[in-house]
Amino acid sequence: MNATLMAHSAYGAHARATGTARDTEYDAIARITRRLAEAARTQGDIAGLAAALLDNRKLWSTLALDVAQPANPLPADLKARLIYLAEFTDFHSRKVLAGDAPADPLIEVNTAVMRGLQDRGGPS
């Protein structure tokens, strides 16, 4: 099972009947990003924030696992950047949970990736 399908399954995505893998990736990232943004806005809901951060970390771990596969067709430099973003997400999430940083950079990373998916033929 590839990472896109695992992300789809893990986050309960209901892919459109005619959707592409890119659509599924976009939908999963968008759903997690909305949850993360809402949790970050809700003061005092550390459990909600922790759950959203965990789901975001799972998403990025799944994406990193997928791009690390030899059969993944992405260019090597893009693979490296995505793996770096997964590492950043893990590191920064720990800082957010400790109360030492806001979740905004994580939301910005996800939003930038969603824009990239749209620009490359994703949902319009």
pLDDT at 121: 54
Per-residue pLDDT of the chain (124 residues), as tens digits, is 444 444 444 444 444 445 688 889 999 999 999 999 999 999 888 999 999 999 999 999 999 999 999 999 999 999 999 999 999 999 999 999 999 999 999 999 999 999 998 886 544 4
Domain residue ranges in the chain: 19-119
- In sequence order, which residues have a C-beta less than 8 Å from that of residue 49 and are 6 or more positions away? 39, 40, 42, 96, 97, 103
Q: How far apart are the first and last CA of the chain?
A: 27
Give the count of beta carbons closer than 10 Å to the beta carbon of residue 27: 22
- Integer Cα distance of 115 and 123 in angstroms: 10
Model confidence, pTM: 0.79
What is the reported pLDDT for 45?
A: 87
- Please give the angle made by the CA atoms of 71, 19 and 77, to the nearest 5 degrees: 35
Nearest to 25 by CA among 59, 61, 57, 75: 59
Q: Can you give the pLDDT at residue 21?
A: 82
